[in-house]
Structure 1
Amino acid sequence: MLDIKFLGKVKIEYDGVDITDKFGIKTKALLSLLILNRDKPLNREKIISYLWPDSTEDSGKFNLRFNLWQLRNIIGLDKNGNKFLHTGRSHCGINENYIYNCDVIDIKAFNLKENTSIKKLEELRKKFSGEFFEGFYFKNCNDFNENIILE
């Protein structure tokens, strides 16, 4: 199973193995954009404007393709055989059927109005291990850096 932690030090595990170091900084940023917008595919042009604002059009497209390729190659299938990414010509996103855990998603999905046990609250509290993308700054990526602050 894929387990992603964006709060505090970014950590990505697949089937219990830490794969964080296999991803570059922009691949981690792309992963966060895709996860935080998991309900709808993102326009490729928008992603490029967030992560490679100073690149030429061809360079930005290449960078995005390379980082998507990296995610696709490193993150394996889930227990039901689903691929992680769903990509098209103009959009890309997380496969809505892919099973994974993410600290930020778990916290956002929490509903205090439901019957909640102390154990569940304690598990949720443990997920708060720091700020979103703590210690990261993306040069010339003002829109993305603003998203980090807002998150």
Structure 2
Amino acid sequence: MPTPLSSAEERLWRSLQRVLVALPRALHEDLLRSTGLSLSQYLVLMNLSEADGNRMRMTDLALATGLSASRITRLVEALRTQGLVVKRTPSTDARGSVAVLTEAGRQRLLGACPAHLASARRRVMDQLDPALVQRLAGELQAVADPLVFRCRRAGPDRTL
């Protein structure tokens, strides 16, 4: 039988669950209203901008954004029709596709970045004690890193 949560642990756990549901919705609404980009579109453009050569395999992009393979395919196709990304078949492995950020996509991301940062600051950072931010970042990273590793390890084209 697992050890029951203390009242402080229970409060943290319930608050974390509410944040995990409500925060993405709020960030999405803020971004969509101010830039016309959805949070998922923003995350795709951001991940591509940070990737080597501004390109990622579709499977890796799905993992990085937390989206399903079918959802990332539809999303990249929508971004492609807007000229923000292109899709290519890699010369080394024709089994998958690669999404590549275009210059128009980079400009759209740069234009949306201030609105996204303002939303993140207002909704999260301004609510936290500045003295705790660094420690909280480390604590949450300690929780997130093993989860991300496990997800990536389970990916179909991952070799570790």
* Bigger radius of gyration: 2
- Normalized per residue, the structure richer in strand is 1
Quick check: which one's helix share is greater? Answer: 2
Task: Give the TM-score band, short-chain normalised.
Answer: 0.3 to 0.5
Tell me the TM-score normalized by structure 2.
Answer: 0.39
Report the TM-score when normalising by structure 1: 0.40
